[in-house]
Chains A and B, each alone.
Chain A
């Protein structure tokens, strides 16, 4: 029977799978960049593009690790705790960093798809920031409730 624990387990599994994909992408990313560069303007050169791409992957991996930590706390029934607020804050800043890097890449390569990706990631970061603000308020309400005698 499907329940909350299984749902959390599925989310954890998906995060680990995405993390494995992100880490393994380091292997073929350089070739992928090379293929793109055959058809598009290369403002940074191959090495510059690879550094930019790997930085994006590094931020994605950090984001996934903190997402896993958030989910881990939720599975331990630690929901409205300051640690989760910190995790959400880091996740949202990772999104903004990825969006900024993609936007720079998009501006210099004139690739619309990268612009679109930057906009989507930035928008997700914004939503997560609002969720973080909600969590921050919820933590203070919970604290007040816990310390009401």
Chain B
């Protein structure tokens, strides 16, 4: 898929663990793992909003389009 999820990069910048982030944005660690590993097929606006709020960033910081 040409959409790359850079969530792990952003999490490293903010120095936040997966467990903490999953708890704060109210999703399961399993779902966060799906998102981090790039297995996710879609992301809800509500989830994206919570991630951006928690990591204090823009959606573009997390999602990247890379032409294959």
Contacts and interface: CB of A to CB of B under 8 A. Distances in A.
A149 B31 CA distance: 6
A3 interface: no
Interface residues of A, number: 5
Interface string B27-46: 10001101100011111100
Contacts of B47: 149
A25 to B, nearest CB: 48
Interface residues of B, number: 12
Report which residue of B31, B41, B43 has the largest number of chain A beta carbons within 10 angstroms of its beta carbon.
Answer: B41
A39 interface: no
Interface string A137-149: 0000001100111
Contacts, number: 23
Contacts of B43: 148-149
A80 to B, nearest CB: 15
A143 B40 CA distance: 10
A148 B44 CA distance: 7
Interface in B7-64: 27, 31-32, 34-35, 39-44, 47
Interface in A97-147: 143-144, 147
Interface in A22-52: none
Contact of A147 (B27, B32, B41): B41
Contacts of B39: 147
A8 B34 CA distance: 34
B50 to A, nearest CB: 11
Contacts of B31: 149
Interface of B: 27, 31-32, 34-35, 39-44, 47
**10 closest Cβ contacts across the A-B interface?**
A147-B41, A148-B42, A144-B41, A149-B31, A149-B35, A149-B40, A147-B40, A149-B43, A149-B47, A149-B34
